A and B are shown apart, each in its own frame.
Chain A
Amino acid sequence: MLLSIITFLPAVFALVVWGVASEKTAKKWTLAFTIVEFIASLLMFAHFKPGVAGLQLVEHRSWIPAIGVDYFLGVDGLSFWLILLTTLLTPLALVGAWTSVNKREKTFCLTVLFLESTMVGTFVAMNSILFYCFFEASLVPMYFMIGIWGGPRRIYATVKFFIYTMAGSIFMLLGIIALMLIYAKTHDGQISANITDFYKLHGQLPFVAGTFLNTQTLLFFAFSLAFAIKVPVFPFHTWLPDAHVEAPTPGSVILAGVLLKMGTYGFLRFSIPIFPEAAEHWAWVFFLIGAFGIIYGALVAMVQPDMKKLVAYSSVSHMGYVMIGLFAMNPQGIMGALYQMLNHGVSTGALFLLVGMIYERTHSREIKDYGGLASIAPLFTIAFLIVTMSSIAVPMTNGFVGEFLILLGTFEANRFVAAFSVLGVILGASYMLWMVKKIFFGKPKGVVVEKHEHGLDLLPREIAILVPLVILIFWMGLFPNTFLRYSEASVENLVQHHGQYEVQAPKVLAPHLRVAAREGVR
């Protein structure tokens, strides 16, 4: 029941907020509810066993048997931390919007809560149609969040975001239908859209190396296109800077922190395990665009005049690391990629929060308007520097562990890709430190010297949301094994059984039982 609760609690809470709260109290209610949701998600620790490779906390009910849609939830090492990341970032993002979002507050709260449900749902759904529904449904609240509470070009940005992602998802839907058909054909007409059943298809997805027009390659790219746009991988990334710049702070935090991970998670859940030969054969494509994305994102970030755009392009660079790590397809690479997903959520989330905080006071995101902030806002400076160090992967912060493991894994798989990608380590430091220098150092000037209502330094409320992130930055950097050990078994299973991957799901209804279930025997 736990996963169902975590998934639908926010949606239920949304109804409560809708019914009970007023415009003024809505945020307080919602904050309380998102904290309850976070605590509920922490209950997973009580039931989740770290050393187990297969699915845990499984819930499996037959739902719409005619089209193979089961209500099938489960969590394993690949999704465990992403769920917690989601439930952690949501309340923090909400507090980040405490004073900056001040129109239609109640609607805003409903949006946040629905968004949370769909995000958690995406990570726990083990039926592909269910996954698709959550994956798509998450677009809607984000569409409204940017479209209603965004900046001046919000409509352009949100439509671009929506169309891009939708365009990719259509291919995924086609892919899912095709996989269901193939499954039915090879299993005596039994219908299933369960991801665990798709894993059993290996050997039944014809693959011819070097050509495009074979089932496995086509399906692999259908899925991968959807996820690549979501990640986003170069050259599908241009929706991201626009969306980030226009999105309100909580939108940016959730977009960067969680929504992008749906893409990389999709690679890990679908593209790589279901199509092992194609994934291995076409890994070079993702090495190429991943590594290119690292350098490209970093270079373009270096010349951005707008803080949020800079951080957005840094996301492109960071997600490039995740891509090459995934396609290294060895324990270090995949583990590093998983870790980097969390890191990126924590540190880029924190960066967007920080940028939001300063924007709220100065109403400028232009880097050239700033200077000498360090002498006026020391606490803000300390927080920003710590997050910067995490973002540029200085050891003892979380970023280092992820980047190191990814590059190590990639080096094992392909030395040239690693040697090229390692340049990102230099460029990453360049753009971040350049921004730090321009904003914080020198004599106070520009918007920094103008009068501000609350002063420029952090308020207690803001400190309260940054502290957990800073603690995580160091904890994840100093004691990564606390996190890695929860994912290790699942990653090992994925890597070692590449080609004959299966995910054990206790209490899963075998397909032949489903007929019985349909007739109400169960």
Chain B
Amino acid sequence: MPNCALFLILLCAPLVGAIFNGVRFRSHNARLAGAVASGAVVVSFLTACFLVMKLAALPVDARAITVEFYNWITVGGFHAKAGFVLDPISAVMILIITGVGSLIHIFSIGYMAHDERPSKYFAYLNFFIFNMLLLVLGENLLVMFVGWEGVGLCSYLLIGFWFEDQEKASAGMKAFITNRIGDAGFLLGIFLLYVTFGTVNFAELNQLVPAAAEVGWLGPITLSCLFLFIGATGKSAQIPLYVWLPDAMAGPTPVSALIHAATMVTAGVYMIVRLSHVFILAPNAMLVVAAVGAVTALFAATMGLTQWDIKKVLAYSTISQLGYMFLGVGVGAFSSGLFHVMTHAFFKALMFLGAGSVIHALDGEQDMRKMGGLAKKLPITHLTFLCVYLAIIGLPPFAGFFSKDEILWYTYISPHGGFVLWLIGLIGAVFTAFYMTRLMALTFWGKSRVASSVHPHESPASMAIPLIVLGVASVVGGWLGMPESIRGLLPLHAPDVFHNWLNPAVALVKWPEVSPVLEWSLMGISVALVGATVVFAYYAYIKEPELSAKMAKDLGPVYEVVANKYYVDELYFGRVINPLVDLAKGLWAYIDVNFIDNITYFLSDWVESAGGGLRALQTGSLQQYALYLVLGVVVIIFTIVVI
């Protein structure tokens, strides 16, 4: 089958599903809607697998399949084609999107079984997959931007899916507008790249940019990278635009799993990897990316420590993990950043689905203070959650260990990184271990605090199977990219599949030669610290539950500030949004209504009084006016002829 047909199936299967469900949006048949939607994504997934195999068969230095459908916008020297490219980078992404996407679609069938508008839900979810595929497959910045805004739109619609609740609708709006701030930056980045290099095509950009790195802050490459990164902070919820993601938890939980954990929020990381050859030339921009990533990783982890809503903990955890990804790509470890995108997609998607399963079992309860002891009632959920818990805190041999430790390692040795960034990342990892243990302890372990009216029950098979598949992936997913030091110890000497696949497609940083002792000791430090934290947290929440309450009390004001999320929302509303609304009201009242219109009235009064003398002419007789008209024309003609 020709490539363009395969691309068409890959992209349009979810679109067709979306249209099918969108047209019959009034239907209540969740099974049919879910089956069609899931089927569409599975078709997409199978096509993706086939295409990736085709790609893998190509020689390493020619691994790119480009398909151009038509010229989208052509004006003057500006060209943007509706073109798509499958290369090792987008290959990883489409497998994640359609693979994890299929599982979450299947999970949703059970989750949304009793919802009033299942068709609409699945239409949006399918449309999201379509847009996400546009985003990662686009051959130029503009097609990427189409997907970029498209996923934002789907996110808006899905966060506010239960729109009868104004708060949920507001959360959707907040997400869209915060993302728009980022998008404005993204647009400026596109403009600057186009003006500088005359193209927005990724392949051309990656070749065209001069080989020498740019010094300083105001060069075109550095500036465009920074502008694009503003876009990334919006979409991928980094400081200072992360505020929308915790609120986005208002959406249905599978949506949080798919959009706000596994796929959409990683778009910013993907964008930087996609433009790695450009970013690598702007060391200052890289520094900003790494620093923002590291600080976000730590900052969000602290906020995760104090949340009671299970989904909010996961939301801050996502922000924090995204921070690690940016830290990775910021220090030049592009393939490691994407590696973490993949492992995170597995374990965080499962976490949200597991949380969904818990919430489903507890009839919608999200407060962890009303959970506890669920391990016995929900054995599958607990077991799978346990796997991802071990994965995210980074204990070997679970997936998160390999990807996170790799990022920390490269941060330490990279010429773009350093000790400070590594230390911030390490502290973040310790906090991660703490809040995740806390979550496990409050939800699954210890005594049950579940209301007596609620009878927890394990979810149906359609929900359990995706959990198991993702659980397995979270355990073994990391083995695809083990570091040399560990692979050397294994009997079979397994190849480093992930990085071998990706490295030819991204910019490579020359890493300094470092002794293996250092690598082992850094690994040892982080594992030991994480282990100690787990034990401590377990002790504080299970063995001596009073201890955690006492800690919160002892910390007093510090705890208050953290529990109130550092008052960032209040700051944004108080210092930016409200003043802007006041300004707008002022402009309207004083400039429009008072100033401009009053000038107009003044002028018209003046004209009226000046025209008083001419009033004699205005008799109201039509014949007289006609006479004036004729006279006027005669005068004009006369003047012209004379001159």
A433 CB–B CB distance under 8 Å: yes
On whether A407 and B587 interact (CB within 8 A), knowing A181-B640, A299-B580, A484-B74, the answer reads no
Q: Which residues of A contact B163 (CB under 8 A)?
A: 374-375, 440-442
Q: Is A260 interfacial (CB 8 A cutoff)?
A: no
Interface 1/0 per residue, B138-182 and A, CB below 8 Å: 000010011001100100100010011110011001001100110
- Quick one: which of B146, B173, B177, B584 contacts A395, CB cutoff 8 A? B146
- On chain A, the residues within 8 Å of B180 by CB distance are 425-426, 429-430
Which chain B residues numbered 322 to 351 have a C-beta less than 8 Å away from chain A? none
**Mask for B566-607, Cβ within 8 A of A = 1, else 0?**
000000000000001101110110011000110010001000
State whether the Cβ of B71 lies closer than 8 Å to any Cβ in chain A.
Answer: yes
**Considering residues B25, B26, B640, which has the most beta carbons from chain A within 10 angstroms of its beta carbon?**
B640
B184, A423: Cβ atoms closer than 8 Å = yes
> B-facing mask of A29-49, CB < 8 A → 1, else 0?
000000000000000000000
Q: Does A184 contact B (CB under 8 A)?
A: yes
Say whether B194 faces chain A, with CB atoms less than 8 Å apart: yes
Chain A residues with CB under 8 Å of B58's CB are none
Question: CA of A392 to CA of B187 in the docked complex: distance in angstroms?
Answer: 14
Evaluate whether A422 and B187 lie within 8 angstroms (CB atoms) in the complex, with A378-B26, A441-B160 already known.
yes
Complex contact B75–A488 (CB within 8 A):
yes
The answer to whether A480 touches B73, judged by C-beta atoms less than 8 angstroms apart, is: yes
A419 interface hit (Cβ, 8 Å): yes
Q: B187 to chain A: which residues have CB within 8 Å?
A: 404, 407, 422, 425
Let me know if B195 is at the binding interface, CB within 8 A. yes
- Residue contact A396 to B191, C-beta cutoff 8 Å: no
Residues of A408-436 whose CB lies within 8 A of B: 408, 411-412, 415, 418-419, 422-423, 425-426, 429-430, 433-434
Closest chain A residue, CB of each to CB of B194: A408
Q: Does A357 contact B (CB under 8 A)?
A: no
Residue of A nearest to B174 (CB): A433
Is A455 interfacial (CB-CB < 8 Å)?
Answer: no
In the assembled complex, B188 has its CB within 8 A of some CB on chain A: yes
Name the distance in Å between B598's Cβ and chain A's nearest Cβ: 10
CB distance from B364 to the nearest CB of A (A): 18
A300 interfacial contact with B, CB 8 Å? yes
A437 touches B170 (CB 8 A): yes
> Is the pair B71, A437 in contact by a Cβ cutoff of 8 Å?
no
CA distance A429 to B183 in the complex (A): 11
Residue-by-residue, is A368-386 near B (CB-CB < 8 Å gives 1, otherwise 0)?
0000101100100000000
If over half of B's interface residues share one DSSP class (helix, strand or loop), that class is named, otherwise mixed; here it is: helix
Whether B73 and A481, one on each chain, are in contact in the complex, defined by CB atoms closer than 8 angstroms, is yes
User: Residue on B with the closest CB to A480?
Assistant: B73
Q: Is A330 an interface residue (CB 8 A)?
A: yes
Assess whether A430 is in contact with B177, with CB atoms less than 8 Å apart: yes
Residue numbers in B under 8 Å from A296 (CB-CB): 587, 591
Once the chains are docked, how many angstroms separate the CA of A488 from the CA of B77?
12
Please report the C-alpha to C-alpha distance between residue A299 and residue B592 in the assembled complex, in whole angstroms.
12
With contacts A238-B596, A396-B150 taken as known, whether A433 is within 8 angstroms of B581 at the C-beta atoms is no
Q: Which residues of chain A come closer than 8 Å to B591, judged between CB atoms? A: 235, 296
Q: Which of B145, B149, B170 has the most CB of A within 10 A?
A: B149
Flag whether B78 is at the interface (Cβ < 8 A): yes
Chain B's closest residue to A436 (CB) is: B173
Q: Tell me if B641 is interfacial: C-beta within 8 Å of chain A.
A: yes
Interface on chain A toward B: helix, strand, loop, or mixed SS? helix
Residues from chain B with Cβ under 8 Å of A299 in the complex: 580, 583-584, 587
Given A303-B584, A412-B195, residue A332 in contact with residue B166 (CB < 8 A): no
- Interface assignment of B53: CB less than 8 Å from any CB of chain A: no
Task: Say if the beta carbon of A83 comes within 8 Å of chain B.
Answer: no
Q: Does B512 contact A (CB under 8 A)?
A: no
CA A421 to CA B492, docked complex, whole Å: 60
Q: Which of B76, B160, B181, B584 makes the CB contact (< 8 A) with A335?
A: B76
The complex places the Cα of A455 from the Cα of B25 at a distance, in Å, of: 19
Who on chain A is nearest to B166 by CB? Answer: A442
Q: Is there a chain B Cβ closer than 8 Å to A66's Cβ?
A: yes
Q: Are A411 and B195 in contact (CB under 8 A)?
A: yes
- The verdict on A351 contacting chain B, using a C-beta distance below 8 Å, is no
The verdict on A389 contacting chain B, using a C-beta distance below 8 Å, is yes
Whether, in the assembled complex, B636 has its beta carbon less than 8 Å from a beta carbon of chain A, the answer is yes
Contact B146 A396 (CB under 8 A): yes
Encode contact with B along A64-97: 1 for CB under 8 Å, 0 otherwise.
0011100000000000000000000000000000
User: A428: nearest residue on chain B (CB-CB)?
Assistant: B180
B506 within 8 A of A: no
* CB of A155 closer than 8 Å to a CB of B: no
Q: Is the CB of A433 within 8 A of B176?
A: yes
Q: How far is the CB of A446 from chain B (nearest CB, A)?
A: 13
Are B191 and A67 in contact (CB-based, < 8 A)? no
A238 cross-chain contacts in B, Cβ below 8 A: 592, 596-597, 600
Is B643 an interface residue when CB atoms closer than 8 A count as contact? Answer: yes
Shortest distance from the beta carbon of B628 to any chain A beta carbon, whole Å: 16
Q: CA separation between A191 and B639, bound complex, in Å?
A: 12
B436 at the interface (CB under 8 A from A): no
Interface readout for A468-501 with B: 1 if CB under 8 Å, 0 if not?
0000000000111100100010001001000000
Asked if A300 meets B588 with Cβ closer than 8 Å, knowing A181-B640, A335-B76, A484-B74, the reply is yes
Provide the residues of chain B in CB contact with A332, threshold 8 Å. 75-76, 78
Closest beta carbon of chain B to A511's beta carbon, Å? 15
Say yes or no: B584 contacts A300, CB within 8 Å: yes
* Complex CA–CA separation, A330 to B78 (angstroms): 11
Interface residues of B in 442-478 (CB under 8 A from A): none
Residues of chain B within 8 A (CB-CB) of A437 are 166, 169-170, 173
Instruction: Report chain B residues within 8 Å CB of A407.
Output: 187, 191
A43 to chain B, nearest CB (A): 27
Please tell me if the beta carbons of B149 and A405 are within 8 angstroms of each other in the complex: no
Instruction: Say whether B637 faces chain A, with CB atoms less than 8 Å apart.
Output: yes
Q: Are B74 and A408 within 8 A (Cβ)? A: no
B604 adjacent to A163 (CB under 8 Å):
yes
Cα separation A430 to B604 with both chains bound (whole Å): 36
CB-CB under 8 A from B181, the residues of chain A are 426
- Report B577 CB to chain A, min CB distance, Å: 9
When the two chains form their complex, are residues A395 and B150 in contact, meaning their CB atoms are under 8 A apart?
Answer: yes
**Interface residue? B72 (CB, 8 A):** yes
B641 neighbours in A (Cβ, 8 Å) = 66
B527 CB within 8 Å of chain A: no
CB-defined contacts of B388 to chain A, threshold 8 Å: none
Query: Which of B286-342 touch A at CB < 8 Å?
Result: none
Nearest chain B CB to A356 CB, angstrom units: 24
CB closest chain-A residue, reference B195: A412
Q: Smallest distance from the beta carbon of B578 to chain A beta carbons, Å? A: 12
A101 contacts partner chain B, Cβ-Cβ < 8 Å: no
Contact status A408-B640, CB under 8 Å:
no
Beta-carbon contacts under 8 Å, B251-274 to A:
none
A437 to B588, CA, bound (A): 22
Q: Chain B residues near A191: list those with CB within 8 A.
A: 640
Q: Once the chains are docked, how many angstroms separate the CA of A412 from the CA of B581? A: 32
Chain B min CB distance to A327 (Å): 16
Bound CA span A443–B169, Å: 11
Taking each of A191, A375, A419, which has the highest tally of chain B beta carbons within 10 Å of its own beta carbon?
Answer: A419
Q: Are B188 and A419 in contact (CB under 8 A)?
A: yes
Does B93 have its Cβ within 8 Å of any Cβ on chain A? no
Bound-complex Cα distance A167 to B146 (A)? 44
The reply to whether B173 and A394 form a contact with Cβ atoms under 8 Å apart is no
Partner of A67, one of B72, B146, B581, B636: B636
- A412 to B145 Cα, complex, angstroms: 20
Known: A191-B640, A303-B581. A331 touches B76 (CB 8 A): yes
Q: 17 A-B Cβ contacts within 8 A?
A: A68-B640, A177-B636, A177-B640, A296-B587, A304-B588, A330-B76, A332-B76, A400-B149, A407-B191, A426-B184, A433-B173, A437-B170, A442-B163, A443-B166, A481-B70, A481-B72, A492-B76
Given contacts A422-B184, A430-B180, A484-B75, 15 further A-B pairs with CB under 8 A are: A177-B636, A235-B596, A300-B588, A300-B592, A302-B584, A303-B584, A331-B78, A372-B164, A375-B164, A404-B73, A404-B187, A433-B156, A441-B169, A443-B164, A495-B76
Instruction: List the 6 closest pairs (A to B, CB-CB), nearest first.
Output: A331-B76, A441-B169, A411-B191, A299-B584, A395-B146, A442-B166
